[in-house]
Structure 1
Amino acid sequence: MVEGDPAAPYTDATRARLEVAFAAYELADLARAAVPIGEHELSPDGTGRSAGATLADAAHVLGAARRFFEAAAVFERMAGADWELVGDTLGVSARAARDRFAVAEVCFREGANGPRGETSWWRAHLAEQPLEAARDLDDWVLRHRDGDGDLGTTPVSGGLVRRVNTGG
């Protein structure tokens, strides 16, 4: 559903939704990696051989979940939601929602790194090659589908929307 001029940039909401998709991919991959129990992971008495490794894995999953949460809030804002709706959805006040997500929104709008200063190769890739970034996610979705029905061949990139060029 790529609308408008094919050379036109994607809408802010489209770019924000791609960030949500990437955050979900990252979260899913990290969580999936924590499921298998390695052949030499446990000692004969059932304790871990590598102290702290499981907790470190869980911390990475939690960080990814936070990035997913922030990306979802920024997407809702780019898609037109006001702080009242964001707050209502989360069961908090509009002010609390704004306090929690305003920095992430500003970082997104300015194309800056994440609110905690983390460098994002994804944000750079998305800014330079948004369609390629979406196609990378298409590939990931198609490799990992599990009874998801017919997703088509472009489950991510097929829904992208470009800004409509009014020729002004």
Structure 2
Amino acid sequence: MIENGAGATVRYTDAARARLVMAYEACELADLARACVPIGEHELNPEGTNRSPGTVLADAAQVTGAVQRFLEAAVVYERMGGTDWQVIGDVLGVPARTARVRFAMAEAAFRELLSPERGPAAGEADGLRAYMAREPLEVALDLDDWVLRHKDGDSHLGTAPVSGSLVRRGPRRRARARP
């Protein structure tokens, strides 16, 4: 939450928070994939084989895991925006029931992260998602920096390519203490 000058608290919508988590997962995926592109000076044997068998496969497995997290975050974002399971199933090429079975737990877990009663998360990934869901502006500003460092010729992004577009709920007035 942030406060504006009028003493009102502005909160991001749940869908905006889910979109932010999806953006973060995309950022992580991009960084993992980008790290696989360079070929280290001492990585290859003279005949072109890998000096450390299994390392490239381990990198690919990390990218695959990041793809799964990104897909899951995209489905959660769609669900937070009201997309029904039929549409999600159609896009993924599976029956709606299959999509629901595959992703309903992720949606429920995200909704739980937004719950005000929830304490600190136990797992590292869960803790990171909870942080992103609860502190969206700080995370969005970090992602703004990441996008601007990697814009690769995209000049239309502006100075706040992530934080500038997050949808906020209307201001909620704080009760003033009476004298």
So what's the TM-score if we normalise by structure 1? 0.88
Q: Are the aligned partners of 2:72 and 2:103 in contact in 1 as well (CA < 8 Å)?
A: yes
* Structure possessing the higher radius of gyration over alpha carbons: 2
Say yes or no: does 1:154 pair with 2:172: no
Number of residue pairs the alignment of both structures matches: 162
Match for residue 124 of structure 2 among 106, 116, 119: 119
Which runs of structure 2 are paired with 1:72-151 in the superposition (5 Å)? Answer: 72-111=74-113, 119-120=124-125, 121-151=127-157
Deviation at 1:165, TM superposition (A): 4.2
* Contact 2:88/2:96 (<8 A) preserved: yes
Q: What residue in structure 2 maps to residue 23 of structure 1?
A: 25
Q: 1:43 aligned to 39, 42, 45, which one?
A: 45
Distance change (3 Å), C-alpha of 1:23 and 1:146: same
Checking the alignment, whether the CA contact within 8 Å between 2:86 and 2:96 is kept in structure 1 is: yes
SS at match of 2:37: coil
Question: 1:46 is aligned with what amino acid?
Answer: G
Q: Which amino acid aligns with 2:124?
A: T
Deviations 1:27-74 (A, max 9, x none): 000000000000000011211111100000000000000000000000
What is the root-mean-square deviation in Å for CA atoms of aligned residues?
A: 2.3
Could you give the per-residue CA deviations for residues 144-165 of structure 1, whole angstroms, max 9, x where no partner exists?
0112231000000001112224
Identity %: 61
Q: Is the 8 A contact 1:6 1:162 kept in 2?
A: no
Using the size of structure 2 for normalisation, the TM-score is 0.83
Gaps of 5+ in 1: none
Shift of 1:7: 1.9
Report Cα offsets for 1:73-103 as digits up to 9, x if no partner.
Answer: 0000001101111111112111011011001
